[in-house]
Amino acid sequence: MKTSYILLAVVTLLTLTGMIATDVLLKQEYDKIDWKNPYQGFAKKSLPMAKHWVIEGTPTKEIMILKSADSSQALIDPDERKFYRTRQQGDTVFVAYTPDYNGNQSGPRNAADYELGIPLVLRLPSLQTLRVKNGRLTIRDFSTDNLTVNLMNSRLRTHGITVSNAFDLITSQNSFAVLGEDKYQSLNVTVQDSSGVQLNNTQTETFTKIASPKSEVQLRGQALKWLK
């Protein structure tokens, strides 16, 4: 009988020791998690240093551009890596994220009010020109001296961009751009065919637009001062 009690006590002690060790390991792993970083599980791929970028995207997913301190890097959902390609030609980097998709897809205007799922994040230290085809793109918390963006059948959303000189925006092929609470020295928009641009509380010292008869230009908040 005494032997049974001793064996039971040993088993219990071993079980408790194992549970405590497991709890310690789980806590260590928990402490490693950066809950403020939604992309920490993404695969990391280095990118060339460049100021000129061409992006081909998809109407079903969002591509995010964020400011990086010193190096260019792509963060990719591990399940989406097979759809990601890059190449460099001179001082221009080409990025393609083109998964297969079926069915009816919303046009650029229909996706203007919200962000889609984000499988790809580009962290760039500099950005001077950007051309986007068939994409849904967000640029967040980015600062630069000059910026030229050309959208083709694409939707752009911006949040917290600062351009100390000129921001030139060209929208074509039914593209739509929603400019958020940004600050520009000069904003020049060219809105072709049935494309559109919305200034949502955007601050700019000067504003010029060239708009086709079928295009759409919306001014909200502080941008209303440019209403004529």
Q: What are the pLDDT digits (tens) for 82-109?
A: 999 999 999 999 999 999 776 556 789 9
Q: Which contiguous run of DSSP H or E holds residue 19?
A: helix 2-32
Do 163 and 179 meet the contact criterion of CB atoms below 8 Å apart? no
Give a yes or no: residue 169 inside a domain.
Answer: yes
Give a yes or no: residue 198 inside a domain.
Answer: yes
Together in a domain, 124 and 214 = yes
Together in a domain, 62 and 29 = no
> CA-CA distance, 224 to 190, in Å (whole number)?
18
Give a yes or no: residue 139 inside a domain.
Answer: yes
Predicted local distance difference test score (pLDDT) of residue 140: 95
pTM of the model: 0.83
Predicted local distance difference test score (pLDDT) of residue 21: 55
Per-residue pLDDT of the chain (228 residues; tens, 9 = 90+): 556 666 666 566 666 665 665 555 555 554 454 456 778 889 999 999 999 999 999 999 999 999 998 899 999 999 999 999 999 999 999 999 999 776 556 789 998 888 999 999 999 999 999 999 999 999 999 999 999 999 999 999 999 999 999 999 999 999 999 999 999 999 999 999 999 999 999 999 999 999 999 999 999 888 878 776
Question: Residue 83 sits in a domain of what CATH number?
Answer: 2.160.20
Give a yes or no: residue 74 inside a domain.
Answer: yes
Domain count, the chain: 2
Secondary structure of residue 32 in the 3-state scheme: helix
Region at 159 (left for phi over 0; alpha for psi -120 to 50; beta for the rest): beta
Together in a domain, 180 and 108 = yes
Together in a domain, 2 and 110 = no
Query: How many other C-beta atoms lie within 10 A of the C-beta of residue 143?
Result: 14
For residue 3, what are the domain limits?
A: 1-33
Give a yes or no: residue 38 inside a domain.
Answer: no
Give a yes or no: residue 174 inside a domain.
Answer: yes
Query: How many other C-beta atoms lie within 10 A of the C-beta of residue 101?
Result: 10
Predicted local distance difference test score (pLDDT) of residue 85: 96
Together in a domain, 52 and 24 = no
> CA-CA distance, 111 to 36, in Å (whole number)?
26
Together in a domain, 108 and 192 = yes
